[in-house]
Chains A and B, each alone.
Chain A
Amino acid sequence: MNSTTSSEGIGSKRIVVGAHKGVGAFLLQRLTAIILSVFSLFLVLRLLLGGAEGYDAWAGMFVPVWMKIVTLVALAALFYHAWIGVRDIWMDYVKPTGVRLTLQTLTVLWLLFCAVWAVQILWRV
């Protein structure tokens, strides 16, 4: 605004680096959101219609392998969705690179831990 140098690299002269870096994350956040919405609806409808009162009916739902796989896919979508969202929060509020990278690393590790735990929970039924 106050000098000519700051207006360079703006508009059509903008130097594009790392183009479409965020598009993949943006699209996957939406895709995983759709997966999660459909799975939630499916689960709620099954519970309301099928009646999962008691241990046998509830746990029985997760016995077929296809249901384990579908649930795991939904949970994988959840963890990836959570990663993008939490990453955005760190990027918005935490400016020091070192702290941000540490928080992002811990987030990834934590979500990986949750993912492996989810496999363990599902395949024990």
Chain B
Amino acid sequence: MSSTPVASKARPQIRNIHVTQILQYRLPPPGLVSILHRVSGAVLFLALPLILWLFDLSLMSELSFARLAEVGSHWFVKLVLLALIWAFLHHLVAGIRYLLLDLHLGVEKSAARTSALAVFGISLPLTVLVALKLFGVF
């Protein structure tokens, strides 16, 4: 009750995250959607030469098409393709969410949280579906 300043607890300082601290941060779902939107975009950008090369092989000739099918039958290539398909699906679904947010739809905290979870709820099952198809389950 004294008016003299009491040695208070050190107040938390909010600073920019350093790369080494990334894994210690637990992001809320919208934050997770956001950073994965950036990561998936960067992945797709870096994979552009691979994607164009595969597109080229698929169209050039029957021979190159057959070669593509052969290359694509390797499990590791399938895994890479699956990663790209996840990146595409996440980027697409999260992107549609951002377009809706731009229109001021679902900007309230709870709605934003629900829609962020919906992004995962759509993109992840679709990725699993593609994975099952890719690895020949159906």
**Interfacial residues, chain A to chain B (CB-CB below 8 A):** 30, 33-34, 36-37, 40, 55-56, 58-59, 62, 82, 85-86, 89, 110, 114, 117-118, 121-122, 124-125
Contacts and interface: CB of A to CB of B under 8 A. Distances in A.
B95 A86 contact: no
Contacts of A59: 58-59, 65
B60 interface: yes
A40 B58 CA distance: 17
B81 interface: no
B83 to A, nearest CB: 18
A86 B65 contact: no
B42 A89 contact: yes
A121 B55 contact: yes
A110 B48 CA distance: 10
B contact face: mostly helix, strand, loop, or mixed? helix
A42 to B, nearest CB: 13
Interface in B42-93: 42, 44-45, 48-49, 52, 55-56, 58-62, 65-66, 88, 92
Interface residues of B, number: 23
Contacts, number: 53
The 10 A-B residue pairs with the shortest CB-CB distance in the complex, in nearest-first order: A55-B65, A55-B62, A121-B56, A85-B41, A125-B59, A82-B45, A59-B59, A33-B95, A86-B45, A114-B48
A contact face: mostly helix, strand, loop, or mixed? helix
B108 interface: no
A62 B65 CA distance: 14
Nearest to B44: A82
